[in-house]
Amino acid sequence: MRQPVIDIRDIAFAWKQGPQVLDIPAFRVDAGERVFLRGPSGSGKSTLLGLIAGVLAPQSGSIHVLGEDMSALSPSRRDRLRADHVGVIFQMFNLVPYLSVTGNVLLPLRFSPARRKAAGNDAEGEARRLLARLGLEDEQLLKRRVSDLSVGQQQRVAAARALIGAPKLIIADEPTSALDADARDRFIALLSEEVTRTGASLLFVSHDASLASLFTRAVDLAAINRAMNRAGAAA
């Protein structure tokens, strides 16, 4: 059996004084899988990603990421695990406005010696290679301020940043919702290709069910989250 990258058991999570948002008996992502997690907005997707990334902690249950029990780790160890092994892509506004395109791609290396090492001696060259594979090779383009790039270009820069230094898990939170259909499909294809090449696992979250076929496995958050079902039943 392959080592699970994400292994969730019986977790429950509620924001302070709020209703329960997540109650998931089991969810797992294996190494090399590209999993599509579908859920409408407000279904607790971002909360689940926060738990997996280790910035939130569940009230009960266990989350293992890359074999590490997140609830047993200190916040700073969880931060280090994320810095070393997890790449994150947001829906939009992914980039630090005052850094160049390559500066943004190289950002994770500032915080993680492990990824700095994995990126090799020529980190700048590695950043350019990643950008080129994602279709951003124009020298002029790389010199522009990141805020002057199109949304699609920004998302590809964010993908390169998530991929640099070979993290084992890429989390993408609605990365294509601001893109048109053409750009969206191309983005997913490029991202999948790179993830496959580096051997990372991908957890791709979106409300758009039509994307499910582009991944190795699709999971409906509503189906695994009992908190949702209860809320739905109550409504």
Partner 1 sequence: MSALLSLAWASLLNRKGSVILTIVAVALSVALFLGVEKARSGAREGFGNTISGTDLIVGAPTGSVNLLLYSVFRMGGATAEVSWPTYQKIAAREDVAWTVPIALGDSHRGYRVMGTNLDYFEHYKFGGGQQLGFAQGKPFDDLFDAVIGSEVARELGYTLDTPVTLSHGLGAADLGSGHENRPFRITGILKPTGTPVDRTVHVSLEAITAIHVGWETGAKNPLADTIPEEMIRSFDLTPKTVTAIFVGLERKGTILTTRRAINTNRGEPLMAIIPGEALAELWNVTSVAERALLAVSAFVIAVGLVSILTSILTSLNERRREMSILRATGARPHHIFLLLVFESGLVGFLGAVLGIALIHGLIAVLAPLLQAQYGVAFSMGAPGLVDLAVLGAVTAASLVIGAIPALTAMRRSLADGLSVRL
Residues at the interface with partner 1 (CB under 8 A) = 46-47, 49-50, 53, 55-56, 75-76, 79-80, 82-84, 88, 90-91, 93-99, 103, 107-108, 110-112, 115, 161, 173
Minimum distance between the CB of residue 104 and partner 1, rounded to whole angstroms? 9
Pick the closest to residue 204 from 228, 178, 174, 181 (CA basis).
174
Among 194, 226, 205, CA closest to 50: 205
Q: How far is the CB of 172 from partner 1 (least distance, A)?
A: 11
Of residues 80 and 186, the one with the C-beta less far from partner 1 = 80
Strands 169-173 and 4-14: unpaired
Least distance CB 92 / partner 1 (angstroms): 9
The token pair at 20 is: 């329960």
The size of the chain, in residues, is 235
HSE, side-chain direction, 13 A CA sphere, residue 80: 8
> Min. distance of Cβ 89 from partner 1 in angstroms?
9
Beta-carbon contacts of residue 17 (< 8 Å; ≥ 6 apart): none
Nearer to partner 1, 96 or 181 (CB): 96
150-175 burial by CB neighbour count: b if 16+ within 10 A, else e? Answer: ebbbbbbbbbbbbbbbbbbbbbbbbb
Q: Which is nearer to partner 1, 145 or 217 (CB)?
A: 145
Q: How far is the CB of 83 from partner 1 (least distance, A)?
A: 3
Minimum CB separation of residue 137 from partner 1 in Å reads 23
3-state SS assignment for residue 147: helix
Residue with smaller CB distance to partner 1, 104 or 225: 104
Select 90 or 192, whichever has its Cβ closest to partner 1: 90
The candidate with the shortest Cα–Cα distance to 8, out of 19, 24, 22, is 24
Give the nearer residue to partner 1 in terms of CB position, either 110 or 217: 110
